Structure 1
């Protein structure tokens, strides 16, 4: 086996980061979800579904593309969209480009609901994430995470 930096043992600092990463992400998502549910009656997944639709051209996105962005399986996203559809926040229609695909469309009511929930989400993100990253170079951290996901 070649002796190179990739196979060198992890430092204590690297081990600590690896051990902290997953629990930290889980705690963040749980906190965002709890804050939104308590104050707005929306799950974090529902909120980000509305957010991605609001950012999409014509507030419309193919369900499979939306599932990838929201990081849910297609069946889980289908359940999320059905809940939002039942509240009149989203509608679904067959894609004009591909009859096998369906699109989710953010309704005016959905956009209004997103706008209503936005301050709660911002406060939650500040309290649970940014307030705890004092002194961290956020630009470098964002770039590092983008490098990991290949979105840089």
Structure 2
């Protein structure tokens, strides 16, 4: 009686370490491909939502450059994961909120400085805008603190 060839569907079959590594690599490949497809579909949805803004000069070119960069980044990340590179440290929502607060407040500070340089003072609209922006920055920092708890 001839022995049947080994079959992965046979519950009695034992996978070798090489077989397990091949299965793990293929699973990682499929996971990376699924993540890339999700990102691409998210980009397609964003493009559809931004379609009305294509009349803005240069907008389409910048959007396409951004999409290309995101896709290249996804491919590079998938390849790095496939090769076993460690994932970058995760960014927490609190970190992102705190950074956003710093950025919008710094932008408002620059606008205030520009207006002071040009007019030696701030008009009431700029003062009100500054109050609103700094209040939003404070709110974002509060949300960041809540996330960190």
Same topology, TM > 0.5: no
Structure with the larger helix share: 2
TM-score (norm 2): 0.30
TM-score (norm 1): 0.30
